[in-house]
Chain A
């Protein structure tokens, strides 16, 4: 496939690794933000191929993982109301709530359906006017324009039976929270290429300047990751800070202005709790009052159970890059993709799932 295969070329990857080897002067700690990048790193063994001094730690960029447990409990509660069809992306259906996940709710009789796109949920609402279709929309800035369009399209169609359960999160406030933490070890970021495709590189410049560190916008194929790592190491060697774009085929300085404009029309910024991390100010999106009738939180009143996190799960430490998934006492023992304790073991982007799937035992990587 074009723009995929070329960026998996083994010969070019080898020469890039050799170049990186020559550039390494000291230990470096880099964090990739996006769970998609974490999976590329583990799948292609980039963590084991880069020089030992380059330590890659994995960021909180798994929207499914950081969706608060209260929100999952709310989705489950709404799915139990008469006439409701609860829809979401596939990953979301298996994330444990306090007592069960959405697939469990489906087994118990709720109408829970997996969607490829939020527009499919709008179409379903058109086709079934007697049912209430709720789309459980999670995601970063990459996904927010899609959910904004679904809501706006439902408004244009005059639909009374479509709503969004909105749990959107924003990347820059999370990066800032990590950098402000006393336990922070991150020296440079590989920023999430598809978030930046929408938002552009510009919004990262203040962070890079304030914390005086390199932020390299990075793509998702092996050569993209290696280029991002290489450029972050060079920037650190030269004491350079600022934003660099290692994914220019997709990312521009201003991002996608149309997508950003609709996002801003439909959503407003709000404080948001991140599962395992806590509330990060101004780090989420919620529907504006003009779109209140499409807000599932306001449309459906539900009784929520007392939220309970399994206390053996250390997802919060994993999501902040403080604990390698395979160093968790439950990894592969009490917690596996078939019987997950927490979301990072469920999601196709979760760091724990990546370590499990690609066979990283503790022996192979340090803690």
Chain B
């Protein structure tokens, strides 16, 4: 139900419209998606799509950082002090 699938935005129709529609490619398969909730989206961005709606623009840098952490962990093998575990959003806003 809360399934979200990442896909690449290939088309944005009338961004001034009340209902902004566009096309998103999922590994080559294109679908019509509502982009009203991601006004910042640009062609080529990856969005997370849930029941025909983009619910966010995927933060590519955040994805790369986690993968880099995991790769470092794999390379270090048995060493400790492994993954950053600091509470990222525990601080007061």
Does A119 belong to the interface (CB within 8 Å)? yes
Q: Once the chains are docked, how many angstroms separate the CA of A252 from the CA of B62?
A: 11
Is the beta-carbon distance between A36 and B56 smaller than 8 angstroms?
A: no
Known contacts A142-B50, A194-B50, A258-B37; A205/B1 CB under 8 A: no
Extra A-B contacts (20), CB below 8 Å, given A202-B89, A249-B60: A1-B27, A2-B46, A12-B73, A15-B70, A19-B82, A36-B2, A89-B51, A117-B34, A117-B53, A139-B1, A142-B4, A143-B2, A146-B34, A149-B53, A194-B50, A197-B48, A242-B90, A243-B90, A258-B39, A349-B2
Q: Once the chains are docked, how many angstroms separate the CA of A42 from the CA of B10?
A: 34
Neighbour of B1 across the interface among A2, A11, A91, CB < 8 A: A91
| Chain A residues, Cβ within 8 Å of B80 | 22
Neighbour of A230 across the interface among B53, B71, B83, CB < 8 A: B83
Is the beta-carbon distance between A258 and B36 smaller than 8 angstroms?
A: yes
Q: Which secondary structure characterizes the binding site on chain A?
A: helix
User: Interface 1/0s, chain A 27-69, versus B by CB < 8 A?
Assistant: 0000000111000000000000000000000000111100000
10 nearest A-B pairs in the assembled complex, by CB-CB distance: A117-B52, A242-B90, A15-B74, A249-B63, A248-B62, A3-B6, A201-B89, A142-B2, A194-B2, A249-B62
User: Interface 1/0s, chain A 132-148, versus B by CB < 8 A?
Assistant: 00000011101101100
| Chain B residues, Cβ within 8 Å of A246 | 66
| Chain A residues, Cβ within 8 Å of B1 | 35-36, 62-64, 89, 91, 138-140, 142-143, 347, 349
Q: Once the chains are docked, how many angstroms separate the CA of A37 from the CA of B27?
A: 22
A residues neighboring B (CB under 8 Å): 1-4, 6-7, 9, 11-12, 14-16, 18-19, 22-23, 34-36, 61-64, 89, 91, 116-120, 138-140, 142-143, 145-146, 149, 153, 156, 192-195, 197-198, 201-202, 205, 208, 220, 223, 227, 230-231, 234-235, 238, 240, 242-246, 248-250, 252-253, 256, 258-259, 262, 347, 349
